[in-house]
Chain A
Amino acid sequence: MLLGRTANGLYWMNRYIERAENMARLVDAGLRMALTRTQSASEEWNSVLLSAGSDVAFKQKYQDYTAADVADFLLRDTSNPSSTMSSIETARNNARMVRTALTRETWESINEAWMSLKRMLARPIDERDLPSVLDAIKRETALIRGSFYGTMLRNEIFDFSQLGTYVERADNTARILDVKYYVLLPSISWVGSTLDNYQWESILRSVSAHRSYRWVYDADYKPTNIADYLILNVRMPRSLTFCYRFLSEHLKFLSDDYGERHACHATAEKTQAMLRAGSIKDIFDAGLHEFLAGFIRDNTRLGDEIAQDYKFY
């Protein structure tokens, strides 16, 4: 038996852990672009902010896009509710609230991540330290994930946690693709300029997939392959299909355990079926942007339905 409020806390704790890490990954990709393509740096930072959903808030505070400002805003600014620092703080507050549902190892890993990131992000980051800060963020979230997978019982507590992880991750991957969808469109891609190559690598890098891509699709970056990889590949842990495979699985565990199906089950299954049946050609034919916008909308609705069906509030 699980309190609705506890399920809510677990769900958001995991969404925010995922988000804390995604911010680091986005900054990492942006930094890479800015270093290699100095002319288009500010454009690149703009798409990083768009992917993070933080462009409006950023513009209220800053005039220009510089690496230092964007990194500061996305990593340590506590007035930005999605920054890594805010996210880890929210994750920890949720963890504190649901503490009785977590193993000691899981709680301690979150608490320690919070302590160490708070210390590290207390002062503005020197640009020379940025790579090591990004590494540290990824390491802390990896430790949380490790303790979580290694020690938690696979019960409803685990299911609600995973729902949070995969809803957030699917949203993140879809947004990254949507911000850059135009560089993946055939009309431009057939040209295959150097700039395109950088853009494509940047997309892959922001989901930590620039190496694994080569294992699957050879060394050449092709926009259809990249889209295929991030949308339809069932083995790629940040692809939309992968996320929905697990969302459906955990929702099924819950409906089996509780003996009751809800609206969220139908929604998740519908999206999963659509991903399974589609080919990347179909998606491009129907319009990549339209597809992604629709996906993000459905994914948000799934989150709302989960909250309602399982009495989070």
Chain B
Amino acid sequence: MRLAAFDEMLPEVSGLRRPYSAYDRWLKEQDPARLTEKMQDAERVFRKTGITFAVYGEQEASERLIPFDIVPRIISGNEWRRLTQGIEQRVQALNAFLDDIYHRQEILRAGRVPRDLIAKNEAFLPEMIGVRPPAGVYTHIIGVDIVRISEDEFYVLEDNARTPSGVSYMLENRETMMQLFPELFQKIKVRPVENYPQLLRQSLAAVRPQSTKGAPTIAVLTPGSFNSAYFEHAFLADQMGVQLVEGQDLRVVDGHVAMRTTEGYKQIDVLYRRVDDSFLDPLTFRPDSALGIPGIMDVYRAGNITIANAPGTGIADDKAIYSYMPEIVEFYTGRKAILGNIPTWRCSEPDSLKYVLEHIHELVIKEVHGSGGYGMLVGPAATKKECEAFAKKLAAKPSNYIAQPTLALSTCPILTDKGLAPRHVDLRPYVLVSDRIQIVPGGLTRVALKEGSLVVNSSQGGGTKDTWVLDD
């Protein structure tokens, strides 16, 4: 399948785009052999530092690198300003929505979002009803996945409001690029991203529980060193200068969460958890969880710990809720959404289901609760047989699926054996919410390395690029 896609460096119609002009000049002066060498250098750096991720179900290759491409994805200052306005608005709306859903539920009363969608949703945590997190913040860290279709069209593909990952790649990609091509950063003014860990730490400190005396103790909670994102958990704890803890290190002591140190138990005030809701507290959620802390939800309800992100935020990034985001943004901000949604058919609605089944070979169909690119069908790329099999699954449980048109995601060139070649990309900027909203200028650009592929997920053959926001 080939879609006529907008290339961000060299669109067919208008020629080389402005943000890429300085880079293009530099690139033309480079010896191709030297670039290939640099690419190998990059891989060595990643392997040496152990920036790997685990792939579930693959015994031998249990630690793999996410392929890194050395051609940066470049965004102009103007484009970025527009994006940040849209993202800020959306993040505000997401937090307002969460607060409303767990309190007065005005939006349900107003009939803008169907009650069933919340009440019957697994991501909705009844345990959070009436609980107000410290400083009123639900989603301290959000990764908003954005795709581009043309010069002016950006859409939000997905809001990651639970525990978005990948920010360590944003930072290490930049670090690697600066090591490989120091001269480029002298020629081109790229806005820095490396203060993200400090911003994250300040942001987490700002939402500490009111009862905290003195400087808050912050910790990162990881499921452990066998988790696929362990590198990132260790990286962030290290960069913030806080402890990296596991469930087995923690227990509730005198109404607070405390970690076992060589000198006894020490209180924790803010927990940046990278463990899913259902594993967080075996007394409240999954009783078989060995990753969580028995009783942490009681401490939380008593206001004695900040959990980032708050439990129950999954209701805001659920794919079924996603289709209501334009209404949600308007309801809480009183203005039309600056960043659009991709048109979405909810298969739970009979008319939509009918349309989706009739057009299955044109659409992308996703599981409502799925992630990581698993359990989805890319209609135009699937065989007739695959489509038919999927249609059966879909008809059996329509409410489990949504469908979207197959968009021609923009492309950006990557370096291949045969020179530059366009590949589809998306963008995940990282947003920090405390008493303010901060967006680090940049993000993670994921790129589908296979020619023509639209799946950018690292677990499915995707790679990453350094993302430059120009200081212009």
Contact = CB atoms under 8 A, between A and B. Distances in A.
Interface of A: 1-5, 7, 93, 96-97, 99-100, 104, 107-108, 111-112, 115, 156, 160, 254, 258, 260, 310-311
Contacts of B64: none
Contacts of B245: 3
A1 B243 contact: yes
Nearest to A309: B262
A112 B262 contact: no
B249 interface: yes
A111 B50 contact: yes
Contacts of A108: 48-50
Interface residues of B, number: 23
A75 B261 CA distance: 35
Given A96-B50, A107-B50, A5 B225 contact: no
A111 B48 contact: yes
A44 to B, nearest CB: 37
A156 B48 contact: no
B249 A100 contact: no
Nearest to B250: A3
A93 B234 CA distance: 13
A260 B225 CA distance: 31
Given A3-B259, A5-B260, A108-B48, 16 more contacts: A3-B245, A4-B260, A4-B261, A5-B246, A96-B50, A96-B234, A99-B238, A100-B234, A100-B237, A100-B243, A108-B50, A254-B262, A258-B262, A258-B263, A260-B263, A311-B260
A4 B249 contact: yes
Interface string B240-270: 0001111011000000000111111010000
19 contacts: A1-B266, A2-B261, A3-B243, A3-B249, A3-B260, A3-B262, A4-B260, A5-B246, A5-B248, A5-B249, A96-B50, A96-B230, A100-B234, A100-B237, A100-B243, A100-B244, A111-B48, A258-B263, A260-B263
Nearest to B239: A100
A3 B47 CA distance: 28
Contacts of B237: 100
Contacts of A5: 246, 248-249, 260
Chain A to chain B: the 7 pairs with minimum beta-carbon distance, closest first: A310-B262, A100-B238, A99-B234, A4-B260, A97-B225, A96-B225, A2-B262
Contacts of B234: 96, 99-100
Nearest to A108: B48
Contacts of A3: 243, 245, 249, 259-262
A107 B52 CA distance: 14
A311 B261 contact: yes
A194 B244 CA distance: 58
